[in-house]
Amino acid sequence: GDALKKFYLENYEETKKTYKFVKLCIVDADEVKKDAVCFVEREQFLKKQMNYTPISFDEVFSREFLVYFISGIAGIGKTCLLRKCLLDWSNGLIWKNVEFLFYFECRRLNQYQNISNINELLNIFYPNILNDFNIYNHSMMFVIDGLDEFQYLNELINNNSQCQIPIVKVLLDIQKYKSLIAGRINAISQYENILSECNNKLTVQIMGFDENGINCYIEKNVGKETKETLKNIFKESPIAKAMASVPFYLSSMCTIIAESNHRESFFLTMSDLYASIFVYFLKKHINKNNAPVYKMLQEENNKQFVFNVCKTAYHLFIENKVTFSRREIQNIVNSFDEVENELSGFIEKIETDLGCYYQFVHLTIMEFCVSVYAYNYLTCKEIMVNEKLRNCLPMICGLLNKDENSFLKFLADIRI
């Protein structure tokens, strides 16, 4: 286990620095469930987030359970929390009876659907750390990140013994071991149901930053002028202040405002924020002449670029693919070889020992691109009947807002 601990300490050192000031609010998920039978995830979260009794990190992980479930909306800090767990285990602070703690991202598991057993899984993902590892000789625990991104989630939840997908059988076998499963609220809720007979479990939900956490993050990460702009925005817009409790959103706000020439940057709605993030990436990667946004998006080649990004996101999202190969992108965008460098702002290339794969820089960005494509190219009926677009509905509806002071007006008209 020493080699594994060294691996985590070397690879996730940045998480240690981040967690010094990232104080995420963790609450009892059962308390949250009492509020609604059905989640409209983002909307309910923003309204209810501060009404729960927080649980400290130490309180959650000092107790021993067979299964830990951690849920939260996109960008709330689930992955950061899991990596904090890896570091604490490596330093002997939690799960002291666990000899080997293995971390897997579901978006990467999607690439290995033919893995047939746990030993094979471990030897593929940790080839330089484990030599002839046998799972029956050690106490182990598994950490599974991004359950909602698992391509075969429905098959896993249905727990169908007839399922012929090897990686699904492997994840079902992992249920026999101590584990921590993290993902979006609906995915974790569904998965928890198939383990309803397990009494030795803990379910918590991450609610993001509290007010002190927001202030601490801003204090550590931005300059004086940006701080003042953010304070004014939060004072005038309760919605913006609520959005700031989500680490990914707050980080995006800080970056956009710090690098903007327009200090009146404002985020009236989540859709406004998504549009601002989208345009920020565009300006960084294709706006070589530093032209105003309206001029940039009048150029046909730039509209074609936006179309390609959104079309790629849509087709892969509908196929439930959050990681994908070069060939899969080329099947959607014929000119991918020519625009790959420009796409890097939205799509990142991940190198592994077994080759490379691609993914959007954040699932929320992918969903917004999906929403832009759906708004521009699908009918209302096609959108409503497509179950896979359910998470995107708030963003699609947000594109109806064509306020003159919002970037949304440009993205609501990208038909070519």
Give the C-alpha separation, 261 to 8, whole Å: 40
Give the C-alpha separation, 178 to 54, whole Å: 25
DSSP class of residue 28 equals E
- pLDDT computed for residue 40 by the predictor: 45
- pLDDT computed for residue 21 by the predictor: 42
Residue type, 407: F
Give the C-alpha separation, 371 to 277, whole Å: 14
- pLDDT computed for residue 92 by the predictor: 93
Cα distances (angstroms) measured from residue 315 to each of 104, 248, 293, 329: 25, 25, 26, 9
In tens, the pLDDT along 73-95 reads 888 889 989 999 999 999 999 99
- pLDDT computed for residue 37 by the predictor: 38
pTM for the structure as a whole = 0.78
Closest CA to 184 of 157, 206, 154: 206
Q: For the stretch 129-154, what's the b/e string if a residue is b when 16 or more beta carbons lie within 10 angstroms of its beta carbon? A: bbeeeebeeeebbbbbbbbbbbbbbe
Whether residue 68 contacts residue 62, with contact meaning beta carbons closer than 8 Å, is answered with no
Whether residue 81 contacts residue 206, with contact meaning beta carbons closer than 8 Å, is answered with yes
Residue for token pair 């959103």: 249
- pLDDT computed for residue 39 by the predictor: 41
What's the order of all strands across the beta sheet hosting 355-360?
323-324, 355-360, 347-352
**3-class DSSP assignment, residue 123:** helix
DSSP 302-360: HHHHHHHHHHHHHHHHHTT-SEE-HHHHHHH-TTHHHHHHHHTTTEEEEEETTEEEEEE
Give the C-alpha separation, 287 to 298, whole Å: 12
Whether residue 309 contacts residue 282, with contact meaning beta carbons closer than 8 Å, is answered with no
Q: Which residues of the chain have pLDDT under 70?
A: 15-24, 30-52, 132, 160-161, 261-266, 287-289, 339, 341-342, 344, 353-354
**3-class DSSP assignment, residue 55:** strand
